[in-house]
Amino acid sequence: MFSKACEYGIKASIYIALNSYDGQRVSLKEIAKEINSPEAFTAKILQDLVRNKIINSVKGAYGGFEIEKENISSIKLAQIVNAIDGDSIYHGCGLGLDVCDANHPCPVHDQFIAIRNELKHMLETTNLEQLAIDIKSGASFLKI
Amino acid sequence: MFSKACEYGIKASIYIALNSYDGQRVSLKEIAKEINSPEAFTAKILQDLVRNKIINSVKGAYGGFEIEKENISSIKLAQIVNAIDGDSIYHGCGLGLDVCDANHPCPVHDQFIAIRNELKHMLETTNLEQLAIDIKSGASFLKI
DNA sequence: TTTAATACGGATAACTTTGTCCTAATTGAA
DNA sequence: TTCAATTAGGACAAAGTTATCCGTATTAAA
């Protein structure tokens, strides 16, 4: 469904959010360990999220990544996915046609539109706070 | 959502079904032209569908691909997707966890399960006949 | 029987995604 | 000021996906 980059990006964002609630800045090394992702590759993805102003980074000793507390509840999965995978999820045709719309639909256009809209709605309504709370309570997990 | 291979496989199957209604066997060359796909790559995918007994092939001059008429309405998209992309759509975790189930869910487990079940249902209930009919009537398109 | 059209299948190339390595820049603390 | 910890970013390697090429086998028709 999503690229590896996007999977790591979502998990990393949740982990950063979780710690930002406690005022804890987290390092790349810690993030990669906690979400079970390759460190250097995760670094690239985090850079991407920083450039898209979804997370903040602080260089140097005692640096790391953080999200401003007041933003955590307003950051939606859609923003993260969009920053990393782009908007292909919203615009691409299920069968790869260059042009696929109501006037010139691919054979599965209607079926796909329905499912894609649900996916879109889910991504646009799910925020980091909800996800971080479940990790904190042990109701969900970031690795294994 | 799907791999290119799967997109080509679905479109090729629809085109073959369409022609099989008229007792017309179609060649690789014709298929690739009509669904706008690379010929040699499409050949590999068709071989896969043949091995999975979703379509039939006839070698030699005047050979080509066909689907037995009586089977067209019972072939579901799910079979084609499964033959080409495998069953990752059904079993994979949305965030790539090796283990992700109700007892040990990833942060977006519930949200994904819901959408994936809809996708699964759609693939399992959509058959080639429905799709071929729309192509025939000009209500949907296989290329451009 | 020869020929042309066709599917089959192995090898390999091109491209994309994923992952690694190394150096530079930054920064807080000793 | 020096050092160690850290992010940034370029170059590159590995793996996976997509695509091409070419020879072989098969088959119907001439």
How close B129 gets to chain A, by Cα (Å)? Answer: 11
For residues B88 and B82, give the distance between their C-alpha atoms in angstroms, rounded to a whole number. 9
The shortest CB-CB distance from A111 to any of B95, B104, B126 is to B126
Q: Does pLDDT of B29 surpass 90?
A: yes
Mean pLDDT of chain B: 97
Q: Does pLDDT of B86 surpass 90?
A: yes
Q: Which residues of chain A have pLDDT under 50?
A: none
Q: Which of B115, B123, B126 to mutate to test the interface with A (most CBs of A within 10 A)?
A: B115
Instruction: Tell if the CB–CB gap between A139 and B105 is shorter than 8 Å.
Output: yes
Residues 8-67 of chain A in contact with strand D via CB under 7 angstroms: 26-29, 40, 43-44, 46-47, 50-51, 57-65
Mean pLDDT over B90-109 rounds to 96
Q: Which of B95, B97, B101, B122 to mutate to test the interface with A (most CBs of A within 10 A)?
A: B95
Q: Does pLDDT of B8 surpass 90?
A: yes
For residue B101, list chain A residues with Cβ-Cβ distance below 8 A.
none
Beta pairing, strands B56-58 & B64-66: antiparallel
How close A3 gets to chain B, by Cα (Å)? Answer: 9
Q: Return positions of chain D under 7 A from a protein CB.
A: 4-10, 17-22, 25-29
What pLDDT was estimated at residue A88?
86
For residue A122, list chain B residues with Cβ-Cβ distance below 8 A.
111, 114-115
**How many Cβ atoms sit within 10 Å of the Cβ of residue B3?**
14
The secondary structure element, H or E, covering residue A28 is helix A28-35
What confidence category does residue B90 fall into, taking pLDDT thresholds of 50, 70 and 90? Answer: confident
Asked if A56 contacts A66 with a C-beta cutoff of 8 angstroms, the reply is yes
How close A49 gets to chain B, by Cα (Å)? Answer: 17
What pLDDT was estimated at residue A90?
83
Q: Which residues contact B49 (CB under 8 A, 6 or more apart)?
A: B9, B12, B13, B55, B80, B83, B84
For residues A130 and B24, give the distance between their C-alpha atoms in angstroms, rounded to a whole number. 56
**How many Cβ atoms sit within 10 Å of the Cβ of residue B22?**
9
What pLDDT was estimated at residue A33?
98
Mean pLDDT over B68-96 rounds to 95
Mean pLDDT over B96-125 rounds to 97
CA dist list (Å): A15 to A58, A141, B119, B129:
16, 10, 29, 47
What pLDDT was estimated at residue B4?
98
CA dist list (Å): B134 to A107, A144, B15, B138, B139:
7, 45, 11, 6, 5
What pLDDT was estimated at residue B88?
86
Query: Percent of chain B having pLDDT more than 70?
Result: 100
**What residue of A is the nearest CA neighbor of B135?**
A107
Per the listing, tokens 């999975």 go with B52
Instruction: Tell if the CB–CB gap between A144 and B106 is shorter than 8 Å.
Output: no
E-assigned strand segments in A8-142: 56-58, 64-66
